[in-house]
Amino acid sequence: MTAPELTGVLETVLYYTDEEATRQFYSDVMGMRIIGQTQGRQIFLRAGSSVFLLFNAEATQRPGSLPPHGATGPGHVCFLVPVTAYENWRKHLVSAGVEVLQEVDWPMGKSEQSPLGSSFYFRDPSGNLLEIANADFWPR
């Protein structure tokens, strides 16, 4: 049986350890709009057309209105930005005191000589690995 069509990812979740630092980082530094929150449990943000959820892993592992879930250790998410905003994002993050850990030029197809796009990595206050990419370099 063939799986029905998927149209995208509606929500992405990372888990935090310091709620106030996390809220400040994602709203003030990353510029995301808070669309909901429950003190001590969750922060809901808008990231372009997507929803970005931040949960207190300890709180969400307890039974509640949804099945328990959580994670230990740092997670990872990559944000896509226009090519024209890529360098501005790097400068913005550095000016906010965020350390850029590494940058990668991603190859296109079988040719390692022709880059399709670039991305750079940094961490949020809870240690999650974040990435900014200037292209969708995954196969379609």
DSSP calls for 36-79:
EEETTTEEEEEETTEEEEEEEHHHHTS-SSS------S--EEEE
**Averaged pLDDT, 71-96:** 94
Question: Domain tally for the chain?
Answer: 1
Residue 138 has which token pair? Answer: 């995954």
Q: Which residue has the tokens 């350890």?
A: 17
CATH number of the CATH domain containing 74: 3.10.180.10
pLDDT of 66: 78
Give the best-scoring range by mean pLDDT among 59-63, 71-75, 86-90.
86-90
Pair 54, 43: CB distance under 8 Å: yes
Q: Which domain holds residue 48?
A: 11-62+70-133
**What is the percentage of the chain residues whose pLDDT exceeds 70?**
94
Residue 128 lies in a domain: yes
Residue 6 lies in a domain: no
Q: 39-43, 60-64, 105-109 — which is least confidently predicted?
A: 105-109
